[in-house]
Amino acid sequence: MKLQDISQPVIFFDDVCNLCNSSVQFIIRHDKKKQFLFAPLQSELGQEAIKQFPGKAPDSVVLFYKRKFFVKSDATLNIAKLLDGGWKLCYAGIILPRFIRNGIYDFVSRNRYKWFGRKEACMIPTAELRARFIA
């Protein structure tokens, strides 16, 4: 499967990060329309996505939506905007200057393994969720 063939929003995430895995579980619970697809950054498709970024590649969350890539706070805010329920209101954070939003994002990202830990192995989705995980 190639990125250009995907019409649904895809969330690329660090599959060994406990915070990232918990975030994916949160999104799954609040995505009643089942619109999101998920792929680890460590997967072949994730590596294809990373190649789209010159310089330092993103290492925690990337949203591919409407043929565009969103990273850092832009990714998280756009994910919230697409979720069902009141989570859409979080998108109001977009009014903050990007350097402030991304500064907070980078601080959490740099410390995520120290604060939340790492997994030794990649998450294995249940049979019901397997169709939403692409790689």
* 18-24 contacts, C-beta under 8 A, 24 or more apart: 18/112, 18/116, 18/117, 18/118, 18/119, 19/108, 19/112, 19/115, 19/116, 20/60, 20/61, 20/112, 21/119, 21/123, 22/116, 23/61, 24/123
Is the pLDDT score of 127 beyond 90? no
Q: How does pLDDT run across 7-36, given as a tens digit for each residue?
A: 899 999 988 888 988 999 999 999 999 999
Q: How does pLDDT run across 45-68, given as a tens digit for each residue?
A: 988 888 888 777 778 899 999 999
Tokens of 70: 């969103």
pTM listed for this prediction: 0.87
What is 3-132's CATH topology?
A: Glutaredoxin (3.40.30)
